Structure 1
Amino acid sequence: MDIARRIGFAILAPVIAIAIAMAATSLVIVATGSDSGVGDFWSIILSKPSDRILVDIVNQTSMIYLSAVAAAVGFRMGLFNIGVEGQYAVASYAAASFAGAAFLPGFLNVFVSLAIAVVVGALWAGIAGILRVTRGVSEVISTIMLNAIAGILVGYLLDRYGIHGGNSVRTKVIPAGSQIGGWAPFASADGQIWTLGLLAVLVGIGFWLLLNRTTFGFDLRATGASQTAAVASGIKVNRMILTSMLISGGVAGLIWMPAFFGNAWSYGTTFQAGLGFTGIAVALLGRNQPLGMVFGALLFAFLTAQSNSLTLLTDISASVVQITQGVAVLAVVVAYELVRRYRVRVEQRAVAEAPSVQAEEVPA
């Protein structure tokens, strides 16, 4: 199959998924009987973002991508780590508490806080891994329960040891020497692109290298494809399960760190929940591939940022965008299967139509 046809098959499934998502969203808008029409919705969503929204899209993309990688590590192993949400919540609180205490100066405080976020996230995910390999408890059930426990635990610790002010409670604000600025590509009022957003780039490169350039990555993909075959080839599956959960949780611990050191500076009302579940959707949308998840994270960040204008300019709820995102995830699964079957038929037809090569007669 030539390169042009391969590229065509690669982009066909996402195009079909986006078309299905747009059609489903349009039907929902019509069904709700909104005074604003479908045209108004898409003209706002697809309009050129303002400078402030562009900055927000880049920042959100970095955090969503980190979340997607955290989920994808488990998915490639055949594990469903639904606990990314709880893992980055606990890790963010631990890192924020340490950074706010200012035991260390400047960037050393930042570095150690990032390490704490990774370790805490890994340990929280490791609980589900240990339960899976020692007791056979499904990681789906254990991680969902750990999400609830994480929310209760962080809420209790924040209420008991946090700084109360009015109706809000937060950790201590990190010192100025540990507040990492960013790049302001536009006017200062439009915000900055967080420096620690580069963590997403580093993690993405590391994930690609892990999958394609290491023995562990090969074992990860092999075990995810078939645990029975992995056992037969000598791979220690239980060790792989636990290690994968630790890596997944460690990456999850970094999700909110760009925002924390960029402009939040404390854990409290500024904490952005929901990124864990968004990352799971983006991992599925990107087929757990490092590059595919980049486009998925960018798409979700773009749709979310653009939806903020809906409530101001129309009577359409911004929640409609969540329908677009959800349908896109479901549609891409269907679209990839349809494209795969079509590609198989095309390849079979090409083989059948190819001229047969007859063996030359060899003289006696």
Structure 2
Amino acid sequence: MKKFDKDRLILGLAGPVLALVVAVALTSVVLLASGRDPFEPYKLMVESAQYADIQVLILNQAGTYYLAALAVAVGFRMNLFNIGVDGQYRLAAMMAALVGAAVELPGPLHIALIVLVAMLTGAFWAGIAGVLKTLRGVSEVVSTIMLNAIATSLIAWLILTDNFGVQLEGSNDLTTGEIAESGWFPSVDMGDGGEIYGFTFVAFALGIVYWFVLNRTRFGFDLRATGASESAAAASGVDAKKMILTAMLISGGVAGLAGMPTLLGDTHTYSLSFPTGIGFTGITIALLGRNNPVGIFFSALLIAFLDKASASLDQYGYEKEIATIMQGLIVIAVVVSYELVRRYGLRRQQQKVGEELAAAARKNREEVAA
């Protein structure tokens, strides 16, 4: 049993490690083909990450990525591909900012209201895809992609000054108005390094909740069972359609929280410059982390490191898009590497079964001969 667990651990680590090695190697080839030093950019990024302010930026960004990846992972465990996390996250952040700026309550209540609105908005938007999937059989991939586009248009309309938007004097940016200080989530002051958003720690704590629910509750078992085989889950009394809808609602609710570290800890408003593309990055992180909360944590730190540590590359004659190239290569490499590891693991398992059967046969022959 112990040997099996060891093999499983090795196979679990082999996929992401192989993907990272391949991504680094291919990025180095690209740099070499363009006449650049294939190793210096990595050295510069590591040196940049030694500064306290960059470390704080990486940690804050990792918190946002972690929530987005958890939202994607919930769908993956149900065999659902929620590509709409980005739309759910942005629409939720905007609605939460609107409500947060419109009211002023005692601190904890104000923050709780903003967070609740974000979760409900994200769950509602993802729930549309869930309803279409369960009632009409519409692929969640198609519906969530379309809902992303609709969310973008809806946000653009809501933030107009004729509706709910506010245009600051001397600025072309449109915002939802600033949330009162009672709605700001406390941050951790790191001195010269800046502040770590308080909600970042909430994000990482949700990873523990995700693990517990998925692995230690009946609901988590039903979710995993339905994702593995809807027919088998139905035979054991699980309502597959209900689980699909529930998974989409939970995925959307977590996606709605992805904007909270930035909204409650930094901007305190939603504007046209609010970060985008978070949901798509979350897909990369969930894949690299194999939907495991610990794997997702380290994957989020890695991608955040590539984002923030690469910002200074242009000062040394290297384009910061090098990090973007590496992220794209990671996505490709992770899919290929996981398939290779899966096939190797299957062959390894078959080989072990064959060895055990051969050993049992030899033992039987020895007992008969005796």
TM-score between both structures, scaled by the size of structure 1: 0.92
Among candidates 167, 173, 177, match of residue 182 of structure 2? 177
Name 1:225's counterpart in structure 2.
228
Name 1:357's counterpart in structure 2.
363
Name 2:41's counterpart in structure 1.
41
C-alpha separation in 1, matches of 2:131 and 2:334: 33
Q: Does 1:114 align with 2:131?
A: no
* Contact 2:306–2:323 (8 Å) recurs in 1: yes
What do residues 17-47 of structure 1 show as CA deviations (whole Å, max 9, x unaligned)? Answer: 111001111122233x25x421222221333
* Contact 1:181–1:192 (8 Å) recurs in 2: no
AA at the equivalent of 2:111 = V
C-alpha separation in 2, matches of 1:350 and 1:122: 45
User: Cα distance, 1:213 vs. partner?
Assistant: 1.1
* SS in structure 1 of the partner of residue 167 of structure 2: strand
C-alpha separation in 2, matches of 1:351 and 1:102: 64
Map 1:75-90 onto structure 2 (within 5 A): 75-90=76-91
* Amino-acid identity (%): 45
AA at the equivalent of 2:204 = V
Q: Quickly say closer, same or farther: Cα 1:353–1:220, change in 2 above 3 A.
A: closer
C-alpha separation in 1, matches of 2:219 and 2:348: 35
AA at the equivalent of 1:273 = T
AA at the equivalent of 2:367 = E
* Contact 2:72–2:283 (8 Å) recurs in 1: yes
C-alpha separation in 2, matches of 1:13 and 1:109: 43
User: Cα distance, 1:97 vs. partner?
Assistant: 0.7
Map 1:46-195 onto structure 2 (within 5 A): 46-47=46-47, 49=49, 50-159=51-160, 160-165=163-168, 166-187=171-192, 190-195=193-198
C-alpha separation in 2, matches of 1:263 and 1:205: 25
* SS in structure 2 of the partner of residue 271 of structure 1: coil
* Contact 2:75–2:82 (8 Å) recurs in 1: yes
Q: Quickly say closer, same or farther: Cα 1:351–1:236, change in 2 above 3 A.
A: closer
AA at the equivalent of 1:16 = L
Among candidates 320, 325, 330, match of residue 327 of structure 2? 325
AA at the equivalent of 1:62 = G
* Contact 1:77–1:244 (8 Å) recurs in 2: yes
* SS in structure 2 of the partner of residue 82 of structure 1: coil
| 88-97 vs 178-187, which moves further | 178-187
C-alpha separation in 1, matches of 2:10 and 2:126: 39
Q: Does 1:300 align with 2:303?
A: yes
Map 1:306-317 onto structure 2 (within 5 A): 306-314=309-317, 316-317=318-319
C-alpha separation in 2, matches of 1:191 and 1:115: 28
Name 1:25's counterpart in structure 2.
27
AA at the equivalent of 1:357 = K
C-alpha separation in 1, matches of 2:173 and 2:363: 78
* SS in structure 2 of the partner of residue 46 of structure 1: helix
Structure 1's consecutive aligned runs of 4 or more residues displaced over 6 angstroms after TM superposition are: none
C-alpha separation in 2, matches of 1:157 and 1:19: 45
User: Cα distance, 1:360 vs. partner?
Assistant: 3.3
User: Cα distance, 1:227 vs. partner?
Assistant: 1.4
* Contact 2:48–2:309 (8 Å) recurs in 1: no
Residue correspondences, number: 358
* SS in structure 2 of the partner of residue 308 of structure 1: helix
* Contact 2:123–2:249 (8 Å) recurs in 1: yes
User: Cα distance, 1:339 vs. partner?
Assistant: 2.8
What do residues 261-292 of structure 1 show as CA deviations (whole Å, max 9, x unaligned)? Answer: 11111111451111111001111111111111
AA at the equivalent of 2:207 = G
User: Cα distance, 1:185 vs. partner?
Assistant: 2.5
Structure 1 unaligned blocks of 5 or more: none
* Contact 1:125–1:246 (8 Å) recurs in 2: yes
Name 1:271's counterpart in structure 2.
274
* Contact 1:91–1:253 (8 Å) recurs in 2: yes
What do residues 288-326 of structure 1 show as CA deviations (whole Å, max 9, x unaligned)? Answer: 111111111111111111110112222x32222122112
* SS in structure 2 of the partner of residue 309 of structure 1: helix
Q: Quickly say closer, same or farther: Cα 1:38–1:175, change in 2 above 3 A.
A: same
User: Cα distance, 1:148 vs. partner?
Assistant: 0.6
AA at the equivalent of 1:181 = P
User: Cα distance, 1:9 vs. partner?
Assistant: 3.3
AA at the equivalent of 2:363 = V
* SS in structure 1 of the partner of residue 253 of structure 2: helix
Structure 2 unaligned blocks of 5 or more: none
* Contact 2:92–2:119 (8 Å) recurs in 1: yes
* Contact 2:19–2:334 (8 Å) recurs in 1: yes
User: Cα distance, 1:153 vs. partner?
Assistant: 0.6
AA at the equivalent of 2:331 = V
C-alpha separation in 2, matches of 1:90 and 1:333: 30
C-alpha separation in 1, matches of 2:111 and 2:72: 25
User: Cα distance, 1:351 vs. partner?
Assistant: 5.5
TM-score between both structures, scaled by the size of structure 2: 0.91
